Structures are given as C-alpha cells and as structure tokens.
Amino acid sequence: MSKDNNQHLSMWNGWSGSRRGIPVYDLWLQEYLPLLKYDEMILDLGCGIGANTRYLIEQGFQVLSCDYSLEALKNVKEFIKGSQTKYLNMNDPFPFNDDSFKVIVADISLHYFLDTKTIQIMKEIRRILKPDGILLARVSSIHDTFNVSNDDDPDSRYHDYGSYGQRYMNESDLKRYFGLIGDFEYREVTMVRDEPYYRHPKKLYQLKVCKR
C-alpha cells in the first residue's frame, strides 16, 4: 500500500481485531452461485475477517482466503470451519502460478492503492486467472458519502486518511483498471451489513470481469 507498511499493518490488524468473531455477510454473491463449481478452489483476495469466505463455505464451495493482516487470517481460521488461509500482500507479486484460479472474489479490497499499484494488481489478477476465469468484485463508488472529490486525475480520487488511503472510483476508473483483465459488466449498488462498521449505507460498484 502507499503508506508505510508498518503503519498500514498496525491499522489493519487493529481493525480486524476489533471485529473479532463470526463474520457477518451480505448476499451480493448469491446471483453468481450458478457460475461457481464445487470442485474448483475460489480465491478470496483481501478476505478481511472472512465474510465472503464464510458465505461461500456455507454454500459448499472450497475457498482459499488471503489477506495482508494476520489478525484477519487468525479470525478466519478460528471462526470459519473448513477454511484455508494464506498470507498475501497485494503490493508484492502474487504467490501463485499463472492460470491458477477459475474464480477470484475481491470484495472491498481493491480500492486502497495508488494508480500505478492498482494497475499492477489488476495485471496480477489477470495472470493468475485461468482462461475465461472470472473476477467478482466490489469497490467504493465516487458517489459514496465519504468521497470528497470529483476531479479527473485518477489519484485525486485517492484520499489519504492517515493510516490508510482509499480510492473512490468512477466509470472511467472501472474501464482503466478492470479493462486490463477483460470484459466486464457493472452496476452501482448500496451495501449494508448488520455490523457496526457497515451499518451506514455504502455506495459501491459491483463487477463481474471475464478474462480475455
């Protein structure tokens, strides 16, 4: 990430630790269940404390949960039966071979990086996706209430909050970044989860990206 690694890690570990327990999920992945296969490992990229991991495992799927925060991974292992975890720092090359995954889920995890790093991450996602593989993702929308900028420069929509930064994407950002992976469809959605950090409605872009 763009800030000092120790500062970032401390923030994410603290945030994950403060949410310790059985993770709360919403049902955004439900519409994509027909695309998933029970014999294919799904990568949960930037899994956090495991909301999407929990949902997918409850539906009978195999999931590899990856995150930068060891506290987050600890929570996944402790509270989600049948989970598998792996440390992954998205600032670095991903520790997977080319064409490793048919489906990658990246929920609210791809909007924390500056422009050049986001481009690098998208190229890594494309590299590890199998031919015709799918990325399912949600990222912060420029219409989210916490956004304060509508400038044209991609990095002007990246806001520095001290211990971390966050990008609020517009439609041109979606094309700039997710277009590097392949063809995509998207819509703007409102997310609410029954937990303190997400009870305030959050505006997101929800995407299905098909590798080409």
> CB under 8 Å to 155, separation ≥6 — which residues?
114, 115
Q: Which of 174, 170, 138 is nearest to 157 (CA)?
A: 170
pLDDT tens string, the chain, 212 residues long: the values are 344 466 666 776 665 656 778 999 999 999 999 999 999 999 999 999 999 999 999 999 999 999 999 999 999 999 999 999 999 999 999 999 999 999 999 999 999 999 999 999 999 999 999 999 999 999 999 999 777 665 666 677 887 776 678 899 999 999 999 999 999 999 999 999 888 778 789 999 999 999 99
What is the pTM for the complete model shown? Answer: 0.90
Task: Indicate the pairing of strand 129-140 with strand 84-87.
Answer: unpaired
Task: Indicate the pairing of strand 42-45 with strand 182-191.
Answer: unpaired
Torsion of CA 202, 103, 66, 49, to 10 degrees: 40
